[in-house]
Structure 1
Amino acid sequence: MHHPLTRPGRRRALPVPLGLLAALTLTACGADPADEPADDASASATPHGYVAGAQELPEPQLQLSYLDAEGSAHALDLLTEDDTELGETGAADAFASDGRFLFAVSEDAGEMTIVDTGTWTVDHGDHTHYYRAPAQVAGTLDWSGEVQAASSETLTAVFSPTTGTGVLLDRADLGSGQVTELARIDTGPHRGAVIPLGNRVVVTDPTSVTALDSSGEPLPGDGVECIDPRGGLATRVGVVVSCADGAVLATGTDDGVDFERIPYPAPVADADRAAALDNRPGRPSVAAPAGTGGVWLLDTRAREWQLLPTDTPWVTAVAADDDADRVVGVDTAGRVVVLEPASGTTTASEPLLPVDRLDEVDLQVDPDRAYVNVPGAGQLLEIDYADDVRLARTFPTAVDPAHLAETGR
């Protein structure tokens, strides 16, 4: 299916940076079927894992990056607990993050401001690199409506379900403070997704999933039917998209992208669909609330769904995919809840979150902890979800945290 597009290849003017500009050019150091082969001469001259202008460190440089409704952006360092102001984005009416960059939309201004938090991880499967560089405002894009964001090592994609507009950006340029558009994609308004898969892109429209190259051109071969897509997510295996009858899994090959349908085990009512897939980044499993009675868990390696009953309705579910395959969530009682699929055991914290503002709560899950913002309370909470959902630390914030993302992972 053809998606109308433009390929402006333009660079937006850079606002005044928040720190020294760094040329953060990512270089490939692992093989991926969807990646272009590295130039041998460049590879021999460049140290393995090198990123110009950045400091490589032995452990993840994790931060809790947060904004208030007016767009004042801050980052709390989880190692030192220092809180740093990142800058101003304008009123943050919509927000997304890919684990390094923040994307804040101001409807009044009609634009999206992109903030580079300066910490990130490059995961090549068998080894990982951790980097830190000065934070900066990378630039802006004309924008309207909501925003979703996802990245591979080479591409960043932003998508507005409100307008159906997707934009592909050069990720290395973005890290050096330049917003370079590679393509614009018009899918029509729908709740779908535009997600990089190596140097290719998985794109939905209201009835299908297809694949494009990095310039936005359709790849050879047909896509696959996906009625009423409702978001998607990158996993260790590939990109998974929620469809009315289950999911579509897109995986990279030497010459393109393969699509595989993973249907629900039985027909599912619209209200009980897995419509908000989420996981700990880089893991193969994804989870989502299943209406008011449970949680969906999809293992993209086994191509298998599980429907896990819960005592209370969940508003958010994240597959931690750890040694116990835990699913971490927030329920309608304002608690952080943890479900272990093998035993069916659910453990919950005390009520921690305002039940009338749960739609403003962002749940972030990493290998050891979960984090939530507490709207209206000026707090971020750290939860040890493997230790009886214990409240480990409480962080006061400089501004009321309307949006939260764990960055540096």
Structure 2
Amino acid sequence: MKIRRVPVLLATLVALASSSCATSEPGSDPGSEPAAEPSTDPTGTAEPAAGTEVAAATPRLAVTHDGGVMVVDVRTGEVLAEEALEGYARVSPAGDGRHALVSTTGGWEVLDLGAWTDEHGDHGHHWTSPAGLTGLRFEATEPGHVVAHDGLTTLFDDGTGTITSFDTTELTSGSPEVTTTSTDEAHHGVAVRLANGNLLTTDGDEESRSGVRLLGPSGTVMAETDACPGVHGEAFAGEVAVLGCEDGAVVVDGRRITKVTSPDAYGRIGNQAGSEVSPILLGDYKTDADAELERPTRVSLIDTRTAEVRLVDLGTSYSFRSLGRGPDGEALVLGTDGALRVIDPRTGEVQRSIDVVARWKEPLDWQQPRPTLHVVGSTAYVTEPRSDRVHVVDLDRGRVTSSLDLPHTPDEVVATAG
């Protein structure tokens, strides 16, 4: 594995190509195109937008749709920016409470939502600036998972196996220093650079993937396992990482990797939601390896302290975009019955059910819009593609407080607290 540090941003200011996005379907392997050598030559930086101090935080949303991405003011519903993009676009939090990364043709574009807060101990200063794409791009053949953890952001290119990481706070300057690493084989994977310099990454190839490796700063293997068939997804319970497998999960705590075994021979956990304040991870749970599309009704709760899994029957199905966590570690699941369930992760008890959207059915094509959940603090945002709306849910009060009409049918959503 080769590690390279580049003192300026891996970015490009060229216009987007017209071919469609190559982001892999959740749980699928990348295509059969040969892996290309990644580009690491800097071709430009962006000037950070100047901020204007305002009296209060201004939460905003980045919402993808067929044709691009828009930035929406949560308080007014006003569309502050419209950016056209070719192909299928996805959006992920960059990790700094201000930017998002939009995966599209050729890589990840940096989107500035234009609202943030500088904390100063017992108070904060709130700022706004013009929203929109910054012009910076992290190049990738098949942009895949984005992981923000411990002040670092890590990107995984499914098409080449290239892993790019950088200090998240440096996005504001427009020119963060990046570290690039490549796996032995390209695959549909995920990686995260840790604050101590170690790298946690999946291992596989175009045909299969079952490996998880923890590497030191120089690339030395510190711990590894090959006992995670179909490894997919990642989330943290505090400082403990969990990656899903087709027969359970693996827990990575320091240099120790522990297997969590599903109660079913095929018990796939492929999408997870973690919390900084809970040692218990929320995951999906599927048991039909041959299903064209399984619509599961149970979720998994993985206790990272004991490597034990508890299954919770919801009485309704959900999708891979239905999982979230509340401010106190509550497990949140948006069901196809339209209700957002609040689950105590310690007991598996459904404590509350909040009606949010109309009943819906998960589409066969994973790229088709469906109600999607994103949580920031004590506020949950839920899209409703059927009505071209996004609903704002106050988790403390247990109800929808506002609904925003959108000019496009929403797909994925990322929120910032402003």
Q: Do these two structures clear the TM 0.5 threshold for a shared fold by scoring above it?
A: yes
Please, what TM-score do these two structures have when normalized by structure 1? Answer: 0.72
Aligned-partner SS, 2:273: coil
Give the CA deviation at 1:346: 6.1
Give the CA deviation at 1:22: 3.7
The structure 1 residue matched to 2:249, chosen from 235, 247, 250, is 247
Q: 2 CA distance for matches of 1:367 and 1:399?
A: 26
Partner of 1:111: 107
Give the CA deviation at 1:10: 4.7
CA contact 2:148–2:154 (8 Å) conserved in 1 = yes
Give the CA deviation at 1:277: 0.4
The structure 2 residue matched to 1:379, chosen from 363, 386, 389, is 389
The structure 2 residue matched to 1:349, chosen from 341, 348, 355, is 355
**Tell me, which stretches of 5 or more residues in structure 1 are unaligned?**
24-52, 252-256
Partner of 2:147: 150
Give the CA deviation at 1:311: 1.0
Partner of 1:29: none
Q: 1 CA distance for matches of 2:417 and 2:68?
A: 20
CA contact 2:214–2:255 (8 Å) conserved in 1 = no
Give the CA deviation at 1:77: 3.7
CA contact 2:12–2:135 (8 Å) conserved in 1 = no
Give the CA deviation at 1:380: 0.7
Q: 2 CA distance for matches of 1:283 and 1:59?
A: 29
Q: 2 CA distance for matches of 1:89 and 1:178?
A: 23
CA contact 2:160–2:186 (8 Å) conserved in 1 = yes
Give the CA deviation at 1:370: 1.6
Bigger drift between 281-290 and 366-375 goes to 281-290
Bigger drift between 287-296 and 157-166 goes to 157-166
Bigger drift between 65-74 and 132-141 goes to 132-141
CA contact 1:298–1:304 (8 Å) conserved in 2 = yes
CA contact 2:2–2:219 (8 Å) conserved in 1 = no
Give the CA deviation at 1:394: 0.4
Amino acid at match of 1:397: L
Aligned residue pairs, count: 360
Give the CA deviation at 1:344: 4.4
Change (3 A) 1:84 1:321: closer
CA contact 1:382–1:392 (8 Å) conserved in 2 = yes
Q: 1 CA distance for matches of 2:126 and 2:193?
A: 21
Partner of 1:227: 228
Partner of 1:47: none
Q: 2 CA distance for matches of 1:98 and 1:282?
A: 20
Q: 2 CA distance for matches of 1:365 and 1:196?
A: 23
Q: 1 CA distance for matches of 2:219 and 2:82?
A: 38
Amino acid at match of 1:310: L
Give the CA deviation at 1:363: 0.8
The structure 1 residue matched to 2:69, chosen from 68, 72, 80, is 72
Aligned-partner SS, 1:314: coil
Q: 2 CA distance for matches of 1:296 and 1:193?
A: 20
Change (3 A) 1:196 1:7: closer
Q: 2 CA distance for matches of 1:170 and 1:221?
A: 23
Please, what TM-score do these two structures have when normalized by structure 2? Answer: 0.71
Give the CA deviation at 1:362: 2.6
Partner of 1:306: 310
Q: 2 CA distance for matches of 1:226 and 1:59?
A: 49
Q: Where in structure 2 are the equivalents of 1:173-322 lying within 5 Å? A: 173-178=170-175, 180-200=177-197, 201-205=199-203, 206-212=209-215, 217-219=218-220, 221-228=222-229, 229-251=231-253, 257-264=254-261, 266-270=262-266, 272-279=267-274, 283-291=278-286, 292-301=296-305, 303-316=307-320, 317-320=322-325
Q: 1 CA distance for matches of 2:356 and 2:416?
A: 26
Q: 2 CA distance for matches of 1:312 and 1:189?
A: 36
Aligned-partner SS, 1:157: strand
Aligned-partner SS, 2:171: helix
1:396 paired with 2:405, answer yes
Bigger drift between 88-97 and 305-314 goes to 88-97
Amino acid at match of 1:332: T
Amino acid at match of 2:173: S
Q: 1 CA distance for matches of 2:307 and 2:116?
A: 30
Q: Where in structure 2 are the equivalents of 1:84-103 lying within 5 Å? A: 84-85=80-81, 87-99=83-95, 100-103=98-101
Give the CA deviation at 1:276: 0.3
Give the CA deviation at 1:55: 8.0
Amino acid at match of 1:406: A
Change (3 A) 1:176 1:77: farther
CA contact 1:91–1:105 (8 Å) conserved in 2 = no
Q: 1 CA distance for matches of 2:104 and 2:159?
A: 14
Partner of 1:42: none
Q: 1 CA distance for matches of 2:333 and 2:276?
A: 15
- State the percentage of identical aligned residues: 19
Q: 1 CA distance for matches of 2:176 and 2:344?
A: 42
Give the CA deviation at 1:160: 3.4
Change (3 A) 1:111 1:178: same
Partner of 1:137: 134
Partner of 2:332: 328
Bigger drift between 154-163 and 229-238 goes to 154-163
Amino acid at match of 2:194: L
